[in-house]
């Protein structure tokens, strides 16, 4: 009976010890994924900011400029693309909406971002775009991979339409979380005008060609990223745009179109941190809690099996000794 119990305990020990690496290295890469229906809104503010007045073509300082970023999962498009790629795909319809101090639109730039739900690698299919222009992304955007590493990544900048290195700058404490801090600097680069402009009837696609006035952009981008989920819990940008040359500026070389230090609003930081903390537990179950727990259980069961077997051998030996003495 004891021999049977020891074998059962040994079988369970092997099962749980084998299950530990399977959860971490086989199940986790397949189960952890970004849901296709996710919706998120983040509000950022620059207080104060410099903004061009298109009526006078002169920059003016304003009390506040608001940037609203929305990410909306397009489930129908995800399912359509998955049928043709045999991959778990997420489609985010994103919008960066900039409003002046009076609440009126300054610019609105839509994006369609298509990526692998497990790895966050871009998926290149028709429909991938920024502001109506077809693009082929490289690198990440908006979200880092699960289990973010302490290294540089390629991060896609939607204004210059290409990726550039975003550098890991160290580990920090943020609102009770250990996060990785990343920085990216985009040098002055000529960019296109947003298709939606605050001037009624203005065709921004012809503005540069007809006036010779070009738009230039630079930014320093900062993110604090939860390494478990890969989700940024805070983000800031020191952002500048200039209009240069041409007939719009009345002989001036350049004017500031927008300048400001854009920060995530405090209530959205709180909400984002709370959401990430809840999501961390699900990821840690598959990467840490359950694998290590099953490994510990397997070792405990192995020890129990050896103990039961040892007791069985000892008991059998004592019975033989007693039987010999009686004879």
pLDDT interval class at 7 (50, 70, 90): confident
Residue 241, C-beta contacts closer than 8 angstroms, at least 6 positions apart:
215, 216, 217, 256, 257, 258, 259
Q: Which residue has the higher pLDDT, 206 or 326?
A: 206
Q: Is the pLDDT of residue 288 over 60?
A: yes
Q: What is the pLDDT of residues 89-107, one digit of tens each?
A: 999 999 999 999 999 999 9
Q: Which residue has the higher pLDDT, 177 or 6?
A: 177
Query: Cα angle vertex 97, ends 95, 103, to 5°?
Result: 150
| DSSP string over 196-221 | S-SSTT--HHHHHHHH--EEEEEEEE
Question: By the 8 A CB rule, do 210 and 193 touch?
Answer: no
pLDDT interval class at 324 (50, 70, 90): very low
Q: Which parts of the chain are beta strand (E)?
A: 39-53, 58-62, 65-73, 89-99, 105-116, 129-130, 133-134, 153-157, 162-174, 177-191, 214-225, 232-244, 254-264
Q: What is the pLDDT of residues 295-308, one digit of tens each?
A: 898 888 888 888 88
Q: How far apart are alpha carbons 186 and 151 in whole angstroms?
A: 18
Q: Is the pLDDT of residue 323 over 80?
A: no
Q: What mean pLDDT is predicted for residues 255-259?
A: 96
Q: What is the pLDDT of residues 20-73, one digit of tens each?
A: 888 888 888 888 999 999 999 999 999 999 999 988 999 999 999 999 999 999
Mean pLDDT over each residue of the chain, to the nearest integer: 91
Backbone angles phi, psi at 32, to 5 degrees: -80, 120
| Residue 326: per-residue pLDDT | 45
Q: How far apart are alpha carbons 155 and 167 in whole angstroms?
A: 10
Let me know how long the chain is.
327
Q: What is the pLDDT of residues 185-194, one digit of tens each?
A: 999 999 999 9
Burial class of residue 127 (count of CB atoms within 10 Å of its CB; 0-12, 13-18, 19+): middle
Q: Is the pLDDT of residue 203 over 90?
A: no
Burial class of residue 293 (count of CB atoms within 10 Å of its CB; 0-12, 13-18, 19+): middle
> Closest Cα to residue 73, out of 43, 96, 93, 97?
93
Question: What is the β-pairing status of strands 39-53 and 58-62?
Answer: antiparallel
Q: What mean pLDDT is predicted for residues 165-180?
A: 97
For a pLDDT cut of 90, what percent of the chain falls above it?
69
| Residue 94: per-residue pLDDT | 97
> Closest Cα to residue 229, out of 276, 195, 288, 266?
276
Q: How far apart are alpha carbons 205 and 202 in whole angstroms?
A: 9
Q: Is the pLDDT of residue 148 over 80?
A: yes
pTM over 0.85: yes
Q: How far apart are alpha carbons 107 and 131 in whole angstroms?
A: 11
Give me the sign of the Cα torsion angle 80, 112, 121, 265: negative
pLDDT interval class at 325 (50, 70, 90): very low
Two structure tokens written together for 315: 């008991």
Q: How far apart are alpha carbons 72 and 116 in whole angstroms?
A: 16
Q: How far apart are alpha carbons 152 and 229 in whole angstroms?
A: 17
| Residue 280: per-residue pLDDT | 92
């Amino acid at each position: 009976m004891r021999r049977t119990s020891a074998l059962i305990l040994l079988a369970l020990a092997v099962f749980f010890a084998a299950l530990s690496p399977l959860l971490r290295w086989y199940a986790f890469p397949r189960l952890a994924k970004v849901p296709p229906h996710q919706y998120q809104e983040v509000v950022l503010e620059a207080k104060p900011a410099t903004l061009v007045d298109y009526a006078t073509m002169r920059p003016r300082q304003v009390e506040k400029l608001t940037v609203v970023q929305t990410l909306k999962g397009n489930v129908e498009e995800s399912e359509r693309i998955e049928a043709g790629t045999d991959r778990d795909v997420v489609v985010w319809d994103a919008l960066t909406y900039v409003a002046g101090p009076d609440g009126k639109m300054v610019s609105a730039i839509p994006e369609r971002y298509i990526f692998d739900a497990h790895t966050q690698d871009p998926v290149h299919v028709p429909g991938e775009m920024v502001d109506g222009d077809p693009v082929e992304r490289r690198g990440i955007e908006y979200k880092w991979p699960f289990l973010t590493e302490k290294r540089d990544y390629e991060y896609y900048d939607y204004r210059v339409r290409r990726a550039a290195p975003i550098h890991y700058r160290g580990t920090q404490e943020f609102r009770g979380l250990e996060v990785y801090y990343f920085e990216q600097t985009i040098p002055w680069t000529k960019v296109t005008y947003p298709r939606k402009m605050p001037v009624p009837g203005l065709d921004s696609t012809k503005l540069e060609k007809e006036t010779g006035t070009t738009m230039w952009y630079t930014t320093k981008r900062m993110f604090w990223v939860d390494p478990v989920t890969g989700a940024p819990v805070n983000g800031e940008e020191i952002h500048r745009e200039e209009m240069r040359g041409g007939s719009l500026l009345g002989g001036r070389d350049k004017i500031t179109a927008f300048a400001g230090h854009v920060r995530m609003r405090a209530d959205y930081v709180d909400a984002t941190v709370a959401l990430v903390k809840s999501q961390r537990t699900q990821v840690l179950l598959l990467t840490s809690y359950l694998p290590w727990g099953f490994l510990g259980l397997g070792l405990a069961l192995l020890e129990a099996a050896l103990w039961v077997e040892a007791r069985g051998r000892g008991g059998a030996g004592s019975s033989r000794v007693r039987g010999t003495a009686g004879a």
